[in-house]
Amino acid sequence: MTTMTIAPASSGFSDDELARLAGRADAYDDETTVTLDQLVIRARWIAELHPNLAYAEGYNAYVQGVQQHMNALTGRTTHRTWPGPTA
């Protein structure tokens, strides 16, 4: 499934927490094989169609972190960093 180690179920994590960790781990693995644009497309697809919401949240959280990291490296800004209209 993944090269990232996730905690076993006996460690006291809930099913949702384990699903989030699995989603993050899969996104981590996918990052090494696809471009950032492809990763964003996968994240959107998973968010809309994956039956496990917690898994989708974990996958998307990792992808957003990658986007923020890449934006910081390239100096790009996104709608998240725009301060909004001044009134």
Domain boundaries, the chain: 14-74
The whole-model pTM stands at 0.71
On whether the CB atoms of residues 63 and 40 are closer than 8 A, the answer is yes
pLDDT digits (tens, 9 = 90+) for 5-54: 655 555 677 889 999 999 999 999 999 999 999 999 999 999 999 899 99
Residue 77, judged by CB atoms within 10 A of its CB (0-12, 13-18, 19+), counts as: exposed
Mean pLDDT of all residues in 69-85: 65
